Amino acid sequence: KQEVTQIPAALSVPEGENLVLNCSFTDSAIYNLQWFRQDPGKGLTSLLLIQSSQREQTSGRLNASLDKSSGRSTLYIAASQPGDSATYLCAVRSGGSNYKLTFGKGTLLTVNP
């Protein structure tokens, strides 16, 4: 059974810092990995999707990497801003016809002005 862990559970940084959020998964036979952002009481916004054959994806100040063999992904946020404050969720889609995502519990990021 796939399990996804995110470390740390919470992170507080001053504005302008570069930071890394970590995600690990137990079964390396994944189809893809997706990073989401969730604001309090709101829905999930897709940030980046990495296919199993890819090593990284970039969007603006965000860069996500994937090391499937070791079961790890990182989300790098450059020059953090207060508007980046949110919960970041990592989710993996395992192989098979079911498109189910298995989610980590998230990292609550606070960027202080």
Partner 1 sequence: EAQVTQNPRYLITVTGKKLTVTCSQNMNHEYMSWYRQDPGLGLRQIYYSMNVEVTDKGDVPEGYKVSRKEKRNFPLILESPSPNQTSLYFCAITDRGSNEQYFGPGTRLTVT
Please state the closest distance from residue 42 (CB atom) to partner 1, in A.
Answer: 7
Please state the closest distance from residue 84 (CB atom) to partner 1, in A.
Answer: 19
Please state the closest distance from residue 50 (CB atom) to partner 1, in A.
Answer: 10
Residue 108 neighbours by CB under 8 Å, 6+ apart: 9, 10, 11, 86, 87
> CA–CA separation, 61 vs 63, rounded Å?
7
- For 100, the 3-state DSSP assignment is coil
Site of interaction with partner 1 (CB under 8 A): 31-32, 34, 36, 41-44, 46, 49, 51, 89, 91, 93, 97-101, 103-106
